[in-house]
Amino acid sequence: MGVEGTVPARPGKVIAVHLNYRSRAEQRGRIPASPSYFLKPSTSVARSGGQVERPAGTELLAFEGEIALVIGRQARRVRPEDGWSCVAGVTAANDFGVYDLRHADRGSNLRSKGGDGFTPLGPDLIPAADVDPAALRLRAWVNGELVQEDTTATLLFPFAQLVADLSQLITLEPGDVILTGTPAGASVVQPGDVVEVEVDVPHAEGSRTSGRLVTTVVEGTDPLRDYGAQPRVDDAQRIEAWGSAAAAGLAPEFTLTDELIEKINSVGTATLSAQLRKRGYNDVSVDGLATTRPGTRLVGRARTLRFVPYREDLFRAYGGGYNAQKQAFDALRPGEVLVIGARGERGTGTVGDILALRAQTRGAAGIVTDGGVRDLAAVAALDIPTYHAGAHPAVLGRRHVPWDVDVTVACGGAAVQPGDVIVGDDDGVLVIPPGLVDDVVAGAIEQEREETFIAEQVAKGEGVDGLYPMNDEWKARYAEWRANR
């Protein structure tokens, strides 16, 4: 099939990459170790200027502006250094998908992303020989407003690597199309919206552009029948489709603001612990740990890493390369705390100086592990506080296999979920469910105010009977004291 200078109307294969732009991966909170893919039917391909139908009865049709590679020659087991030579050209693509149907074919995305017209391509092909694959720009507009802009300099997996990887098992043929991922900014569109996508080479001499790929969203009229999966959405899907709770019109997600952090830092973990116990939470302390930074407060949202017990075959399969441990540290965002569930096993290191430095450079607030720490002196010299169960010189593979990230873990006897608020000081580390934070902190501030009053009275010679805790008489005197401050 000759494809030179043309965008194929009916490719033999359309292969799409799940995550490939760092901005999108960070938005989703995970950095993949290697590319993963799904297939889209060739019947989903459409031309510029056409329409895409939001199926009747569905709510969440999302666009994803992408760069499409059009294969120019047969590729089978090509090396990464030869991958780009197999590409005839690049063009704009839009990877539409219906989140309402993700549950139906989880992983394959067949119905959620395979509908007719769900893969517009074009309008023009930029010859691969004319461009540097690392110097392309992708932009997308909705109703004339720029909503996506990124460059291929930020790709996790370069185009040549994708071609080489796929060709290990799949023969790529002329006219096949690879959709190479979308950057941050993809979101939901409504009937009547006009979506445009363009690929170009900024600052290049001459015109190097795919032109604007234009698609209008329309409302479908034929409902999905009950002999197949029905649309199903919840708030979690809405947030993922829109990109945020605010964009989805939902109540704002819990945010650990600077103002809230200041309030948390105004009270000790001992006081916070007392307030949690008042609310029935008795097992939210991460026990048995020491800190590398005495006198330093720790406040942040939890990200999690789970180790499982060492087993030779499991470590061979999962312990090397870009394993879950490295992925967890690479995915940390400013203000987050990496909580490592190591089963209380102190007989090997779970973090060392290099990974602790990586967490610090990522802007993380701290590290909490109920396992050992290697290179303790070097870790302690960093600014980032690390709470740990003790020092140990051994490497990871002695007792642990890094297993998974962003799951509920057990750490120091406490259950920790991604997004929990982690608070630490010299007294220890607490885990506070986000929904309790405002109430617990307000109670802790009031408790410490009361204890300041009580301490003043004790300093004046008052006895503690009836004062600590306060009886009605002392409560009245406290109210007067507080009103006069």
Indicate whether 421 pLDDT > 50. Answer: yes
Mean pLDDT of 77-83: 96
pLDDT grade for 108, boundaries at 50, 70 and 90: confident
What amino acid occupies position 20?
N
Beta bridge partners of 198: 139
Residues 337 and 314: their CA atoms lie apart, in Å, by: 27
228 marked ligand binding residue: no
Residue 428 has, within 13 A of its CA and on its CB side, a CA count of 18
pLDDT computed for residue 2 by the predictor: 40
pLDDT computed for residue 413 by the predictor: 95
| Cis amide bond preceding 133, omega within 30 | no
Indicate whether 5 pLDDT > 50. Answer: yes
Residues 198 and 452: their CA atoms lie apart, in Å, by: 63
354 marked ligand binding residue: yes
**Average confidence score pLDDT of the chain:** 93
Residues 177 and 63: their CA atoms lie apart, in Å, by: 18
pLDDT digits (tens, 9 = 90+) for 172-208: 999 999 999 999 999 999 999 999 999 999 877 667 9
Question: Helix, strand, or coil here: 389?
Answer: coil
The residues spanned by each domain of the chain are 14-242, 282-432, 442-483
Indicate whether 256 pLDDT > 90. Answer: yes
Return the HEC string of 433-483.
CHHHHHHHHHHHHHHHHHHHHHHHHHHCCCCCCCCCCCCHHHHHHHHHHHH
Pair of tokens at residue 451:
């204890």
Indicate whether 453 pLDDT > 80. Answer: yes
Indicate whether 127 pLDDT > 80. Answer: yes
Pair of tokens at residue 257:
């603001």
Angle value at C-alpha 427, between 422 and 433, nearest 5 degrees = 25
Residues 307 and 42: their CA atoms lie apart, in Å, by: 42
Mean pLDDT of 427-448: 94
Crossing angle (nearest 10°) for helices 437-459 and 472-483: 100
What amino acid occupies position 450?
E
Residues 33 and 405: their CA atoms lie apart, in Å, by: 12
Q: Which residue has the higher pLDDT, 2 or 426?
A: 426
CB burial readout 64-98, b (16+ within 10 A) else e: bbbbbbbbbeebeebeeeebbebbbbbbbbbbbbb
Indicate whether 3 pLDDT > 80. Answer: no
224 marked ligand binding residue: no
pLDDT digits (tens, 9 = 90+) for 16-35: 999 999 999 888 877 888 99
Domain 282-432 has CATH 3.50.30.40: yes
pLDDT computed for residue 1 by the predictor: 35
Indicate whether 458 pLDDT > 90. Answer: yes
175 marked ligand binding residue: no
For tokens 């790929």, name the residue: 213
Of 117, 69, 132, residue with least CA distance to 214:
117
Residues 94 and 213: their CA atoms lie apart, in Å, by: 8
Residues 229 and 209: their CA atoms lie apart, in Å, by: 40
420 marked ligand binding residue: no
353 marked ligand binding residue: yes
pLDDT grade for 248, boundaries at 50, 70 and 90: confident
Residues 91 and 123: their CA atoms lie apart, in Å, by: 7
Pairing of the two strands 298-309 and 421-425: antiparallel
pLDDT computed for residue 4 by the predictor: 54
Pairing of the two strands 177-179 and 65-71: antiparallel
Fold topology of 14-242:
Fumarylacetoacetate hydrolase; domain 2 (3.90.850)
Indicate whether 211 pLDDT > 70. Answer: yes
Residues 31 and 12: their CA atoms lie apart, in Å, by: 30
